[in-house]
């Protein structure tokens, strides 16, 4: 049996890979990005390793990953995310490339770039939606269409996925283009009426040995899907997939995303994910164990025996994604019918679950903890919504009081103020505090969890801060690096999302963290005003000033004993 490092932490592909390999008897180690991920409760994980995310310091991440591999002597390394796959394919490192589960150089370079995928598909005679470059006259387009990045993840933008945007009019297109710095990195793709279909495969040297097909049962408002069903393989789509696999000499797993119109029977290829994909739990539930088969191919250095059989009609749902889809549907004025549809499919899936045709992605009899923790996290989400409406609870306030007493027992010299983006709330409070402590005794720095760095505060933030005598004109965002977190004596944050991020990335620092809202007369989260207009910034900064005055007293007391 092999010793395998799986990089990732999500509830779909990562957890499915971990379970598959663990059941096969392999020793599974993991390298997550978020240390509070529900997936890490899996009983199949032998050891959890910690390295700061690649986007925080890529060279350091590669160096530490190389050292980890040397110390642990892994047989294989499986990157379950593009954020891990891209640097392992494009940057130099000291890891033997033969042990990294990648699709191969040509398949990677083709499928990571949606434009190259398009050109190859057209060359092979595979149906594609119409595409055009950004400089095409906007009044010649047929709407709706999609504004697509050529690559969702790049080396210089590892922290955030470049999203596909649905465009409904020329005005929407022009508004979106005005916010883009590099138009050459995007293209336009026409809409294709139909349902989402995925054909997932395992290949060796371009030859497909296993294939599985699913279709989306429901699609969320923001795209994506939370409920999927296994369906018989389409001979036509499989033929297209085999052409692409052979042309790129695909050496591993990939999911080929299609759009299919049941009325006209027409289909077209949208894009290809040359790594483990979100619907992987359904494939395992239907009988195709892609991760174990992949390791078998790597061990034998040749394709597994061909097998295209599996059980059609199986249904799997992503529980948390389903709840979020329903919540977004209910929040949007024109989405009542979408909400009704989601509820209907949810009830239908519950019935199928009773007759063993359906499952939940995280559910497993031999590994119950992730499902149990997902339920717990959904309860927490509901509590957070209630807390947002009612303010911080008595338990929150009691916990904060004890933490305040503990922290103030020693002089607080290095203050770190955190929010998500470090362009709205944290820079304002950071500057407010630093202006008061304008000496060498106390240092105040602000930072955030969102990359890239050096982003400016939005116009509304600058205007609202100037009204209160502060200036954010020179501010540029900074990432909350391990060194900043370690050095801080006191960490200030604003809401439950910031709290979750601290616990996820730096759990050892949470004991020295306080919610700014707990310094208000009525303790409450101070919500992010980003994108909500000038009035929201005025209200937010008034709250921060009120809390800031008490924070100053608190810090001064720590110095005066």
CATH code at position 183: 3.30.1490
Whether residues 446 and 526 share a domain: the answer is: yes
Q: Are residues 545 and 495 in the same domain?
A: yes
Q: Are 106 and 112 in contact (CB under 8 A)?
A: no
For residues 417 and 296, membership in a common domain is answered with no
Of 9, 69, 275, 419, which one is the catalytic site residue? 419
CATH code at position 352: 3.30.470.20
Same domain for 287 and 151: no
Count of domains in the chain? 4
From 19, 228, 425, 478, the catalytic residue: 425
Same domain, 186 and 201: no
Beta bridge partners of 360: 317
Nearest to 56 by CA among 497, 506, 510: 506
CA triplet 43, 47, 50: central angle to 5 degrees? 125
Residue count (the chain): 561
Residue ending a domain, among 140, 167, 190, is 190
Asked whether residue 32 falls in the same domain as residue 81, the answer is yes
| Residue 331 and residue 271 share a domain | yes
* 412, 537: one domain: yes
Question: Which residues have CB under 8 Å from 234's CB, separation 6+?
Answer: 197, 199, 213, 260, 267
Q: Is residue 41 part of a domain?
A: yes
| Predicted pLDDT at 392 | 58
Alpha carbons 556 and 561: distance in angstroms, whole number: 9
Give the span between the Cα atoms of 516 and 491, in whole angstroms. 10
Preceding omega of 561 cis (within 30 degrees of 0): no
Residues 173 and 27 in one domain: no
Q: What is the pLDDT of residue 327?
A: 56
Q: What is the CATH number of the domain that holds 84?
A: 3.40.50.720
Claim to verify: residue 217 and residue 278 sit in the same structural domain: yes
What is the pTM for the complete model shown? 0.80
**Would you give the end-to-end CA distance of the chain in angstroms?**
59
Q: Is position 419 annotated as part of the catalytic site?
A: yes
CB 310 within 8 A of CB 201: no
425 catalytic? Reply is yes
Residue 374 within a domain: no
Residues whose CB falls within 8 Å of the CB of residue 404, separated by 6 or more in sequence, listed in order = 514, 518, 554
In a domain, 501, yes or no: yes
pLDDT per residue as tens, the chain (561 positions) = 999 999 999 999 999 999 999 999 999 999 999 888 999 999 999 999 999 889 888 999 999 999 999 999 999 999 999 999 999 999 999 999 999 999 999 999 999 999 999 999 999 999 999 999 887 776 677 899 999 999 999 888 887 778 888 999 888 888 888 777 788 899 999 999 999 999 999 999 999 999 999 999 866 544 456 789 999 999 999 999 999 999 999 999 999 999 999 999 999 999 999 999 999 999 999 999 999 999 999 999 999 999 999 999 999 988 877 666 555 554 554 445 554 555 555 555 554 454 457 899 999 999 999 999 998 887 777 776 666 555 555 556 556 666 667 776 789 999 999 999 999 999 999 999 999 997 778 999 999 998 778 889 999 999 999 999 999 999 999 999 889 999 999 999 999 899 989 988 898 999 999 999 999 998 899 999 998 999 999 999 999 999 999 999 999 998 886
Query: Do residues 279 and 305 share a domain?
Result: yes
Is 179 found in the same domain as 210?
no
Instruction: With H, G, I as helix, E, B as strand and everything else as coil, classify residue 462.
Output: helix
Residue 278's domain comprises 196-317+319-360
Instruction: Choose one of 171, 190, 209: the last residue of a domain.
Output: 190
Q: Is residue 119 part of a domain?
A: no
Is 528 catalytic? The answer is: yes
Taking residue 342's Cβ as centre, other Cβ atoms within 10 Å add up to 25
> CA–CA separation, 345 vs 340, rounded Å?
9
What HEC string does 485-499 produce? HHHCCEEEECCHHHH
CATH number at residue 483: 3.40.50.2300
pLDDT at 142: 85
> Other C-beta atoms within 10 Å of 181: how many?
5
Given 138, 157, 190, the domain boundary residue is: 190
Residue 375 lies inside a defined structural domain of this protein: no
Q: What's the DSSP call for residue 525?
A: -
């Amino acid at each position: 049996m092999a010793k395998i490092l799986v990089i990732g932490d999500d509830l779909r592909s990562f957890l499915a890979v971990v379970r598959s390999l663990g059941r096969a008897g392999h020793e599974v180690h993991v390298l997550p990005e978020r240390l509070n991920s529900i997936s890490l409760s899996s009983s199949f994980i032998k050891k959890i390793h910690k390295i700061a995310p690649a986007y925080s310091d890529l060279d350091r991440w590669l160096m530490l990953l190389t050292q980890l591999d040397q110390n642990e002597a892994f047989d294989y390394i499986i990157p379950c995310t593009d954020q891990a796959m891209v640097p392992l394919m494009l940057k130099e490192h000291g890891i033997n490339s033969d042990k990294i589960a990648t699709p191969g150089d040509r398949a990677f370079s083709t499928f990571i770039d949606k434009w190259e995928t398009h050109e190859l598909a057209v060359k092979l005679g595979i149906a594609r939606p119409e595409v055009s470059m950004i400089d095409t006259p906007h009044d010649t387009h047929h709407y709706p269409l999609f504004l697509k990045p050529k690559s969702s993840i790049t080396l210089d933008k590892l922290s955030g996925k470049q999203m596909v945007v649905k465009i409904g009019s020329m005005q929407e297109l022009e508004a979106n283009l005005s916010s883009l710095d590099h138009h050459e990195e995007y293209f336009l793709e026409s809409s294709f009426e139909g349902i989402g279909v995925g054909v997932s495969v395992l290949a060796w040297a371009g030859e497909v040995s296993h294939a599985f097909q699913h279709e989306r049962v429901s699609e969320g408002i923001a795209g994506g899907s939370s409920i999927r069903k296994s369906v018989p393989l389409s001979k036509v789509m499989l033929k297209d997939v085999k052409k692409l696999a052979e042309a790129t000499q695909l050496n591993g797993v990939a999911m080929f995303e299609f759009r299919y119109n049941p009325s006209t029977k027409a289909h077209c290829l949208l894009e290809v994910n040359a790594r483990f994909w979100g619907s992987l739990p359904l494939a395992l539930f239907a009988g195709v164990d892609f991760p174990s088969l992949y390791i078998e191919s790597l061990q034998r250095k040749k394709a597994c025996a061909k097998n295209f059989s599996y059980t059609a009609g199986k249904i799997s749902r992503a529980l948390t994604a389903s709840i979020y889809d329903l919540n977004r549907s209910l929040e949007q004025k024109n989405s009542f019918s979408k909400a009704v549809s989601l509820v209907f499919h949810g009830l239908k899936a519950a019935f199928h679950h009773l007759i063993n045709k359906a499952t939940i992605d995280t559910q497993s009899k031999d590994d119950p903890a992730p499902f149990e923790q997902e339920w717990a996290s959904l309860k927490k989400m509901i509590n957070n919504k209630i807390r947002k409406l009612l303010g911080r609870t008595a338990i929150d306030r009691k916990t904060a009081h004890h933490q305040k007493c503990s922290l103030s027992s020693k002089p607080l010299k290095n203050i770190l103020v955190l929010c998500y983006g470090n362009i709205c709330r944290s820079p304002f409070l950071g500057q407010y505090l630093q202006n008061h402590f304008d000496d060498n005794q106390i240092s105040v720095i602000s930072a955030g969890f969102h990359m890239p760095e050096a982003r400016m505060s939005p116009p509304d933030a600058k205007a609202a801060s100037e009204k209160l005598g502060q200036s954010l004109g020179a501010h540029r965002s900074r990432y909350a690096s391990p060194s900043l977190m370690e050095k801080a004596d006191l960490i200030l944050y604003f809401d439950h999302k910031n709290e979750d991020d601290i616990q996820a990335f730096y759990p050892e620092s949470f004991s020295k963290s306080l919610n700014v809202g707990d310094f208000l007369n009525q303790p409450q989260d101070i919500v992010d005003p980003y994108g909500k207009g000038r009035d929201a910034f005025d209200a937010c900064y008034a709250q921060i000033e009120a809390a800031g005055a008490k924070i100053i007293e608190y810090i001064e007391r720590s110095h005066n004993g």
